[in-house]
Structure 1
């Protein structure tokens, strides 16, 4: 299993320690809607706070690219947060250092995907 897959799986099962084990001490995570989390302690604080009202219902990797110092994944995501359902497709890119995530940036689609037919 790749590091990004381990990271995602750990979020799905709400395992803060497992998420942290995927990260370098000086990690940086950039979420698709703006927040930046710098360092393991900040990530831990964010997760604990998010898990108070948030629950990942589905986070499925649909495409995966793995290289020695780089991983990327496309995924579909559904969660409940503060009682509201959120669903979108996105992608994560990761720079690795010594087999752990040093930098992770998420991107999301902003509208449903559709086939273009020339109009």
Structure 2
């Protein structure tokens, strides 16, 4: 499980450091990636294109891991994300459900987000 955690850490770090070449080491050729706000990318070439386009307009300032949960080929990651994209700053908490193949490459990644600023309506 530690090996999978290192793969996820490498992926998050690639976004912070704009390291596109890492993607082919991490993802399978037929990766299916669902972002938390709707877009879906199918295929490593499309993901590399998205990664490059995104970095032409933005910068990831933080992508911090809070915890990992493992079950067979699936790893769940809870995280905090902060970026500037087209001069708009945003931050949110999130969860990724990541499915690995037998070669420890990511074949499916689904992101879900939560508002970063939480409030207590009854307290």
The answer to whether TM tops 0.5 is yes
Secondary structure, counterpart of 2:99 in structure 1? strand
* Unmatched segments (≥5 aa) in structure 1: none
C-alpha contact 1:56 1:80 (8 A) present in aligned 2: yes
How many aligned residue pairs are there?
A: 118
The equivalences for 1:94-105 within 5 A come to 94-97=98-101, 98-105=103-110
Runs of 4+ in 1 over 6 A off after TM superposition: none
- Further displaced range: 109-118 or 30-39: 109-118
Report how far residue 67 of structure 1 moved.
4.2
Q: Which of the numbers 53, 63, 68 marks the counterpart of 1:64?
A: 68
Deviations 1:34-59 (A, max 9, x none): 00000000001101110101100011
- Between the aligned partners of 1:6 and 1:74, the Cα distance in structure 2 is 15
Report how far residue 9 of structure 1 moved.
1.4
Aligned match of 1:31: 35
1:88 matched to 2:87? The reply is no
Q: Which has the higher helix share?
A: 2
Root mean square deviation, CA, Å? 1.7
1:112 matched to 2:112? The reply is no
Q: Which of the numbers 5, 16, 40 marks the counterpart of 1:12?
A: 16
